[in-house]
A and B are shown apart, each in its own frame.
Chain A
Amino acid sequence: MLGLLEFDPSIDFKLLLAVLLIPLIGYVLQIFLRDKLPRGDWILTGGMGIVALITVFLAAKAIAATTAGEEFFHASSDVGMQFGWFYSDLETPAVNVIAGILYDPLGAIMLAVVGVVSFCVHLFSQGYMRGDKRYAIFFANLSLFTFAMLGLVLSDNILFLFIFWEIMGLMSYLLIGHFGHDPSQPFFHRWATWASKKAFLTTRVGDCCLFIGIFMFWDQFQTLSFTGLWEAGRAAVEANGGEFPAWMTTAGLFVFGGTVGKSAQFPLHIWLPDAMAGPTPVSAMIHAATMVAAGVFLLGRMFPLLSPEVLTVVALTGSFTALFAATIGMTAFDLKAVLAWSTVSQLGFMVAAVGLGHVTAGMYHMVTHAFFKGCLFLAAGSVIHGCHHVQDMRLMGGLRRKLPVTYICMLVCTLAIAGFPLFSGFYSKDQILLAGWASVGDIDHFGGTALFALIALPVAAMMTAFYMLRLIFITFHGEYRGNMQEHMYSEMIASEGVEGPDPNEHGPGEHGDDSHATHEPHEDPFRKNSMTQALVILAVMAVPGVAWVVHTWVGGLISIHTLYPSGIADWIGAKVPEGIFDPDSHMAHVAHGRALYLSLFVACTGILGAFYLYVMRRDLPAKITAGLGILYTTCRRRYYIDEIATACVINPCVKLAVILKWIDEKIVDGLVLLVGRVNKLAGFLSAWFDRMFVDGAVNAVAHVSQAFGAAFRLLQTGRIQQYATFAVGGGLLTAAWLILS
């Protein structure tokens, strides 16, 4: 048994390669043979099932090794599995990009998460997307999306990470825009087009920052591989007397820019809530296993290279985003919007944890979050499917009896995200709060940042518990409100005082499918319903007990000491609060205790608050929102960030483009034309001179000749025979003259 759990480079790298290639091959098959394959979706789902099995199996090996206290770092370049990308020759690595696979604890756990969640999403999509016009393309894209994320995780160098990172951007563009080609769904048709473009461009701003960050590190270190970068970073810092050189702070900030874009941190978070314009399984994919996780994963990979100054910025951004998004989440009424804002907020938690030095807490929260958020989105998809594509929670209610499996799964995951004790989210969120306490204790390093984080994060956690339970109570409890008439709905929207159309809300008439009024919500039997099957797989991971097992295993796999090779792990100790770096220290015990009480307190407060407002006193929320007035509206309108971005970035860019176009046509080209005109004028002038004077003299000669010509011209009839006559006559005359003389 133990032999089986030994990492064997000769086989396991091939397995990892297979993990990468299966979705890619599936994609190619599906794209080119979609009409000829009997059930392409099953090939892809089955392939993803195999991927999930392999990744979990390999993760088990990693867990076995790290639990036994071994160092678990396997680079395929050690066994010769690598290739030169720019040039095929491998002898001059400094001027080449040499790519291979890096399989380490962080990669192992991430890979397993991606494999399992992606499999569940595939499974779910079979039910959810049935009947879609572009069903085959959807599955193909989903597979390639997974491929990109798997590649990103397995890359042993940052340039390849970036490549997969960008491919993922493309796939998110295509998948979010999935409905953009289907005019039968008028609302999504418009929205998906717009949202997909927004997602790609917003993340691309972050991507370009990351790109520049990569330049900076490569410029100094002449290597792109992670292990090489870590070593070079350590050497550079040691050469600088233990301080990070200033350029590393700049470079680190640029790299963090990539995370801000991809993991939807303030102020580039704006794309994520709109990304729900895509089909719900895609949302699950983006929010759980792929896109947003990539940003956090990048932080994990680059953590050793981030200077304390960068970490301060990271922690501040993360804490602020966590709090900021949570406030918006409390006001949203669209089922998916609540979940989207909760993702932004949870990502803030992860980022903040990394910033506070507790990189493993961030990574661990990413893992648990991937499972429960994947499940929540899929459950939301199941609800939306059951309610015939209604997304507004105010049109639901009382669904727990109609969608029992969905309800249970969603409840489990909600408790997990709320941080309810013994559910999976509790363990990870507890760790993040612990990071806060530990770093407050380590005041030299973290100063006010830790204090801010320690206030913002628990408040955000409390809000999370509140709005997630609010979601459950509104959606699944009370009476079913789906039969509400359209005018009542409009009045309700109007009474909110939100001006202008909000893409998050769309009334019953908007999606060309008004059948919800006549059909009751329903859920297909579990046995035949791949949607609920997928839900259950994911929800199990959050259930108490299972969560504890996962916690133990993953906790052993990714700790601050196993995440990086031993030399690096010791070196980064300086950036990590003592209470985290040394779990047996006094500070660790103190922080642990406080974090435990704090997380218990905030979770229970939030849940009880939601229960009070949405179960016991349902009349209160409306009064409170009315009382808050403009504060509520601002929050509801997402603090007008979109409007600000449009006014401050997008419109100026377009205006600038128009102005530059004008300059180009009138000034740059105008100069060219002016030169042309001046030349033309000079030409006319010299032509005039030429005609009047130079040509005049010539013409005078010509006129004389012309006069003669005119006389002789009379002889010119153009008739050959006449000419011949003249010639013969002339010849005869000449002959006569010769003879006579």
Chain B
Amino acid sequence: MNDHTILSWITFIPLIGMGAILFVPRNNSGVIKLIAGIATAIPFLLATQVYFGLFDKKSAELQLVQQLDWIKAVDAQYFVGVDGLSLALIWLATLLMLVAVPASFGIQKAQKSYYALLLLLEVGIVGVFVSLDYFLFYVFWEVMLLPMYFLIGIWGGPRREYAAIKFFLYTLTGSVLMLVAIIALRLDMGAIGAENPFSIPEMTLQAGAGMLTGTGLPFGGHLLGMQFTTWIFWFLFVGFAIKIPVFPFHTWLPDAHVQAPTPISVILAGILLKLGGYGLMRACFPIVPSAFNEFAYALGILGVISIVYGAFVALGQTDFKRMVAYSSVSHMGFVLLGMAALQNWGMSGAALQMFNHGTSSAVLFLIVGVIYDRAHHRDLNGFGGLAQVMRKYWALTTLGFFAALGLPGLAGFVSEAMTLMGAYNSEREGFKTLVIISVIGIVITAAFLLWTMQRVFLGNLNEKYKDFDDINFREIMCQAPFLFLCVFLGVAPWYLLDWMQPSIDKLVTTLGG
């Protein structure tokens, strides 16, 4: 293992683990869990080593690059590498998967397949973050889809088939649009004689030079009255926006979350949604910067609608998990707003918000999981007074809720403040108004979280629940890393931002900011 293969190791060790699990008898769940634990722990340790050791945080370049020929017929390459944008998310992904294993110990059904699929999912997720070749990117993108479908569809709640199919078809629609755009880009790259026509960095370079406009294609730079780049932009954007998810493409999310088992919800909210935001930053905006600049205001509006609308709909929910799901829509709206503003703080804030939402939403879903395991329902109006019997749980929930509502001193605040200040400072027209409107979302977020707090924990104790056990050690340990990150990054955000800054600055410059 050397510096150039470490990313491949991080990506594929879970695959090895998956292979190992397939050889273990299905009733030997202890060994299966052990293998799953090891196969997720090693990538996490390697990612930590990359973060603190191998990665040069002063550089904006892609690092630890590995580039091999793969499918010569279409010039697709095995091309992986990291920069400040992806590094933190890779680390978060490996951490989330590591935590997802103990968080899944409660699952009894078909454990062998469950953990095998979980590891396959990790391959897909990490693969998307490391790949720099669009073909490879797409392959990993699809690899991730399938395990998720089964994980929701087999281990989910009562309406799991509906949710799984909805999730699958919805995201597949996005992927197909993306595929069309990728093929078009490949052809265009071929037409301008690029050396590695699938390479994302090369596409970025060509696009930055104004070359990637589709003029070399049979239909020229225009199609059905719209520019080639506009088509590409919207196809890619919709593909990624479904994943984020941005209003109005968000409705798969609440269903998927409500039906998914707790660890899968955690992964879904914690890292899958970030793939959308990351995709926009890595593989959409820099490839069609002109269209991005043209439609930035529209994106900003979508972001603000997500923030405010998501918060209001969350306020109207009575299902604990649905509420948390909609709060995700609201929080991820900041990502889009920050990116659309094209300002260094806005972009950094967006990247940071992805990370911070990853930790805080993971906590929220774990919290919901704890109560669901005990009460077997999630109706917010059915609880009450739980603070009297579950003291530790209540304390952790308080911390998690305040992290989610962006209380200063906790991580969410830093990213929200950066995003909003950046967006307010944007040179683009109209963003000041958008920021002021989006602040309504912050107030409403506080309102629904505190209201939930009141309905679940305060007031009179429901007699049925007076024998509830407090949160146990395993559950605390699952939440602990994320709560720690929420506090730590709220106090010392430079531990992420320092690493991101060069890449973000470069991205903003590339996009013309």
| Chain A residues at the B interface, C-beta cutoff of 8 Å | 84-89, 95, 159, 162-167, 169-170, 173-174, 177, 180-181, 183, 189-190, 193-194, 197, 200-201, 204-205, 208, 211-212, 214-216, 218-219, 653-654, 656-661, 664, 668-669, 671-672, 676
Q: Is the CB of A197 within 8 A of B439?
A: no
Docked CA distance A163–B497 (Å): 19
Q: Is the CB of B494 within 8 A of A85?
A: yes
- Report B49 CB to chain A, min CB distance, Å: 21
Q: Is the CB of A218 within 8 A of B425?
A: yes
For A85, list chain B residues within 8 Å (CB).
493-494
Docked CA distance A669–B251 (Å): 6
Interface set, chain B 419-437, CB cutoff 8 A to A: 420-421, 424-425, 432, 435-436
- Report B353 CB to chain A, min CB distance, Å: 13
The chain A residue with its CB closest to the CB of B455 is: A193
Q: Is the CB of B450 within 8 A of A95?
A: no
Q: Is the CB of B493 within 8 A of A86?
A: yes
Q: Is the CB of A89 within 8 A of B498?
A: yes
The list of the 8 closest CB pairs from A to B, nearest first, reads A661-B316, A657-B316, A163-B408, A657-B315, A669-B251, A215-B424, A193-B458, A166-B408
Q: Is the CB of A211 within 8 A of B439?
A: yes
Could you show 12 A-B contacts with beta carbons less than 8 Å apart?
Answer: A86-B414, A95-B345, A177-B458, A183-B388, A208-B439, A215-B424, A219-B424, A653-B447, A658-B316, A660-B316, A672-B166, A672-B170
Q: Is the CB of A664 within 8 A of B251?
A: yes
- Report B476 CB to chain A, min CB distance, Å: 14
Q: Is the CB of A86 within 8 A of B418?
A: yes
Interface set, chain B 473-513, CB cutoff 8 A to A: 493-494, 497-498, 501
Docked CA distance A181–B439 (Å): 31
Docked CA distance A86–B250 (Å): 31
- Report B444 CB to chain A, min CB distance, Å: 7
The one of B250, B315, B439 that contacts A654, using a Cβ cutoff of 8 Å: B315
B275-316 vs A: 1/0 string, CB under 8 Å?
A: 000000000000000000000000000000000010011111
The chain B residue with its CB closest to the CB of A200 is: B450
Q: Is the CB of B444 within 8 A of A215?
A: no
Q: Does B451 contact A (CB under 8 A)?
A: yes
Q: Does B169 contact A (CB under 8 A)?
A: yes
Docked CA distance A636–B20 (Å): 75
Q: Does B241 contact A (CB under 8 A)?
A: no
Most buried by A among B345, B417, B454: B417
Docked CA distance A212–B170 (Å): 37
Contact status of A201 and B387, CB under 8 A, knowing A86-B418, A88-B498: no
Q: Is the CB of B498 within 8 A of A664?
A: no
- Report A312 CB to chain B, min CB distance, Å: 23
For A190, list chain B residues within 8 Å (CB).
459
B452-476 vs A: 1/0 string, CB under 8 Å?
A: 0110011111000000000000000
The one of A89, A159, A181 that contacts B417, using a Cβ cutoff of 8 Å: A159
For B439, list chain A residues within 8 Å (CB).
208, 211-212
Q: Does B446 contact A (CB under 8 A)?
A: yes
Contact status of A95 and B344, CB under 8 A, knowing A177-B458, A193-B459, A212-B439: yes
Q: Does B215 contact A (CB under 8 A)?
A: no
For B316, list chain A residues within 8 Å (CB).
654, 657-661
Q: Does B409 contact A (CB under 8 A)?
A: yes
The chain B residue with its CB closest to the CB of A163 is: B408
Q: Is the CB of B317 within 8 A of A661?
A: yes
For A660, list chain B residues within 8 Å (CB).
309, 312-313, 316
The chain B residue with its CB closest to the CB of A211 is: B439
Docked CA distance A87–B345 (Å): 11
For A181, list chain B residues within 8 Å (CB).
387-388, 394, 457-458
For B414, list chain A residues within 8 Å (CB).
86
Docked CA distance A177–B453 (Å): 12
Docked CA distance A87–B413 (Å): 15
- Report A215 CB to chain B, min CB distance, Å: 4
Docked CA distance A86–B349 (Å): 10
Q: Is the CB of A180 within 8 A of B315?
A: no
For A676, list chain B residues within 8 Å (CB).
166, 169
Q: Does B407 contact A (CB under 8 A)?
A: yes
Main secondary structure of the interface of B (DSSP, over half): helix
The chain B residue with its CB closest to the CB of A667 is: B248
For B421, list chain A residues within 8 Å (CB).
214-215, 218-219
The chain A residue with its CB closest to the CB of B169 is: A676
For A211, list chain B residues within 8 Å (CB).
417, 420, 439, 442
Contact status of A162 and B498, CB under 8 A, knowing A208-B442, A672-B170: no
The chain A residue with its CB closest to the CB of B165 is: A676
For B446, list chain A residues within 8 Å (CB).
200-201, 204
Q: Does B443 contact A (CB under 8 A)?
A: yes
For A193, list chain B residues within 8 Å (CB).
454, 458-459
Q: Does B402 contact A (CB under 8 A)?
A: yes
- Report A90 CB to chain B, min CB distance, Å: 11
Q: Is the CB of B444 within 8 A of A653?
A: yes
Q: Does B81 contact A (CB under 8 A)?
A: no
Contact status of A664 and B313, CB under 8 A, knowing A211-B439, A672-B251: yes
Q: Does B385 contact A (CB under 8 A)?
A: yes
Contact status of A87 and B344, CB under 8 A, knowing A162-B408, A201-B450, A208-B442: no
For A659, list chain B residues within 8 Å (CB).
316
**Contacts A180-B387, A212-B436, A668-B250 known; 17 new A-B pairs at CB < 8 A:** A87-B501, A159-B417, A183-B461, A190-B459, A197-B453, A201-B443, A211-B420, A211-B442, A219-B425, A654-B315, A654-B316, A656-B312, A657-B312, A657-B314, A657-B316, A661-B313, A672-B251
Docked CA distance A659–B313 (Å): 8
Docked CA distance A167–B409 (Å): 7
- Report A441 CB to chain B, min CB distance, Å: 39
Contact status of A163 and B409, CB under 8 A, knowing A653-B315, A654-B315, A661-B317: yes
The chain B residue with its CB closest to the CB of A165 is: B408
Q: Is the CB of B407 within 8 A of A657?
A: no
For A86, list chain B residues within 8 Å (CB).
345, 348, 414, 418, 493-494, 497
For B493, list chain A residues within 8 Å (CB).
85-86
For A162, list chain B residues within 8 Å (CB).
408
The one of B251, B418, B454 that contacts A197, using a Cβ cutoff of 8 Å: B454
Interface set, chain B 397-415, CB cutoff 8 A to A: 398, 402, 407-409, 413-414
- Report A425 CB to chain B, min CB distance, Å: 34
The chain B residue with its CB closest to the CB of A218 is: B421
The chain A residue with its CB closest to the CB of B391 is: A181
Contact status of A170 and B385, CB under 8 A, knowing A219-B425, A660-B313: no
Q: Is the CB of A657 within 8 A of B313?
A: yes
- Report B116 CB to chain A, min CB distance, Å: 30
Docked CA distance A218–B435 (Å): 14
Q: Is the CB of B435 within 8 A of A212?
A: yes
Docked CA distance A659–B314 (Å): 12
Docked CA distance A189–B458 (Å): 8
For A671, list chain B residues within 8 Å (CB).
248
- Report A666 CB to chain B, min CB distance, Å: 11
For A174, list chain B residues within 8 Å (CB).
398
For B315, list chain A residues within 8 Å (CB).
653-654, 657
- Report A139 CB to chain B, min CB distance, Å: 16
The chain A residue with its CB closest to the CB of B439 is: A208
Docked CA distance A212–B252 (Å): 33
Q: Is the CB of B454 within 8 A of A167?
A: no
For A664, list chain B residues within 8 Å (CB).
251, 309, 313
For A672, list chain B residues within 8 Å (CB).
166, 170, 251-252
- Report A262 CB to chain B, min CB distance, Å: 14
For B312, list chain A residues within 8 Å (CB).
653, 656-657, 660
Docked CA distance A194–B453 (Å): 11
For A159, list chain B residues within 8 Å (CB).
417
Most buried by A among B312, B316, B450: B316
For B413, list chain A residues within 8 Å (CB).
163, 166
For A164, list chain B residues within 8 Å (CB).
408
- Report A530 CB to chain B, min CB distance, Å: 28
For A173, list chain B residues within 8 Å (CB).
450
For A653, list chain B residues within 8 Å (CB).
312, 315, 444, 447
